[in-house]
Amino acid sequence: MDKIELKALGKINLGLDVLGKRPNGYHDVRMVMQTIYLYDQIIMEKKKEPGIEISTNLFYLPVNENNLAYRAARLLMDEFDIQTGVKISLTKHIPVAAGMAGGSSNAAAVLYGMNRMYGLGLSMEELMERGVTLGADVPYCIMRGTVLAEGIGEILTPLPAMPKCQIVVAKPPVSVSTKMVYEKLDSHQIEEHPDIDGIIGGLESEDLKKVADCMGNVLEKVTVEAYPVIEKIKQCMKEGGALNAMMSGSGPTVFGIFEDRKQAKKAAARIKEAGLAKQVYVTNVHNARRK
Ligand code: ATP
């Protein structure tokens, strides 16, 4: 196989709790992750000349070893002594630095693509073991679907699939540093922990309303303090009929859960019209796991 086209899907967090901090600075988390059908298009192609060549539609993204897609390709090329080169084209749609694991999902797709294209014979578990060296969310992005992520995010337990629903994603025009959010969290006392077990219970009983009611993100307060627009978008989604709305990851992206597609589209249009966000999408959850 000389060429492979892949979709690198983004994620939202239905729940995000922080349990503590390790001496090395990493945080112990308990998160319910959900893949959504908002994706970056990735085309990988072998080339005769050695080296990794990255191209992307976003001028501000690095195309060297600072790009996670580059690092993913490098990792397997070094381990398997691959002498030919690879061209990787990234067409980005997942908002960048937004709490949707865009970089991690690109890395996951490239690991998957290298394994297929070069016939390396690695199992999904073996790809995940390599992925975690690139980032805590990479193993999840390899697995996909509805998953409980613990440890630093790498200990994964598959959960029952999220019931069918519409997801509105809105990224306000501010950039959030994940590092900054966690540092601020450390200086706060966590007053309220989200009901992660409630979310899991809702998934087990296929009860979308219960999942939505139990949603919570311990990082939200910290990011909202810096960017009140996040709260405004949440309100707009709820007024527009969302069962609930919340910030994903360390933000600033907000997502809303809707039962009805028409309502979801209307809410998305209202957020744009109000000038709260330009990057607004209506999409679905994606429950299939990668095999
Ligand atoms: P997370 O949800 O894991 O916190 P994120 O959405 O906050 O991820 P990313 O979109 O992955 O963050 O990007 C964070 C930083 O990583 C960006 O500032 C960007 O420069 C860098 N980066 C490196 N490679 C990529 C890539 N392939 N796609 C997007 N960003 C990348």
Q: What is the mean pLDDT of each run of 10 residues along the chain (291 residues)?
A: 97 96 91 98 96 97 98 98 96 95 98 98 97 96 98 95 98 91 83 95 98 97 95 98 97 97 98 97 96 81
Last residue of a domain, one of 113, 133, 158: 158
Are 42 and 113 in contact by the 8 Å Cβ rule? The answer is yes
Q: Answer yes or no: is 290 within a domain.
A: no
Same domain, 141 and 218: no
The residues that bridge with 11 in the sheet, in sequence order, are: 35
Ligand 1 centroid distance, CA of 115 (Å):
22
Catalytic one among 137, 171, 210, 234? 137
Question: Residue 259 gets which letter from DSSP?
Answer: S
- Using CA atoms of 65, 120, 148, 170 in order, give the dihedral in degrees to the nearest 10: 50
Q: Answer yes or no: is 64 within a domain.
A: yes
Structure tokens at 217: 């993100």
Question: Which pLDDT score, from 0 to 100, does residue 189 have?
Answer: 76
The residue range of the domain holding 252 is 166-284
Question: Residue 285 gets which letter from DSSP?
Answer: B
Tell me, using a 6 A CB cutoff, whether residue 141 lines ligand 1: no
Residue type, 183: E
Residue 53: phi and psi, rounded to 5, are -115, 115
Q: Answer yes or no: is 291 within a domain.
A: no
Q: Which residues contact 20 (CB under 8 A, 6 or more apart)?
A: 27, 28
Question: Which pLDDT score, from 0 to 100, does residue 186 have?
Answer: 78
Helix (H) / strand (E) containing 203: helix 196-204
Question: Based on the structure, what is the number of domains in the chain?
Answer: 2
| CA 147, 176, 110, 127 torsion-angle sign | negative
Atom of ligand 1 nearest to the CA of 250: 4
d(CA 163, CA 199): 12
Same domain, 133 and 245: no
C-beta atoms surrounding 245 within 10 Å: 25
Determine if residue 265 is left, alpha or beta; phi over 0 gives left, psi from -120 to 50 gives alpha, anything else beta. alpha
Respond yes or no: is residue 11 known to be catalytic.
yes
SS3 223: helix
To test the pocket of ligand 1, the residue of 61, 75, 185, 220 to mutate (highest count of ligand atoms within 8 Å of its CB) is 61
Question: Which pLDDT score, from 0 to 100, does residue 172 have?
Answer: 97
CATH no. for residue 15?
3.30.230.10
Ligand 1 centroid distance, CA of 250 (Å):
12
Tell me, using a 6 A CB cutoff, whether residue 69 lines ligand 1: yes
73 is in an annotated binding site: no
Tell me, using a 6 A CB cutoff, whether residue 223 lines ligand 1: no
Last residue of a domain, one of 126, 158, 190: 158
Tell me, using a 6 A CB cutoff, whether residue 106 lines ligand 1: yes
- Closest among 11, 31, 229, 21 to 149, alpha carbons compared: 31
Residue type, 286: H
According to DSSP, the β-strands at 155-158 and 146-150 are antiparallel
Last residue of a domain, one of 158, 191, 216: 158
Question: Which pLDDT score, from 0 to 100, does residue 185 have?
Answer: 86
Are 54 and 12 in contact by the 8 Å Cβ rule? The answer is no
Q: In what order do the strands lie in the sheet with 254-258?
A: 244-247, 254-258, 166-171, 279-284
Place of tokens 């859960």: 257
Question: Which pLDDT score, from 0 to 100, does residue 28 have?
Answer: 93
Place of tokens 């060296």: 133
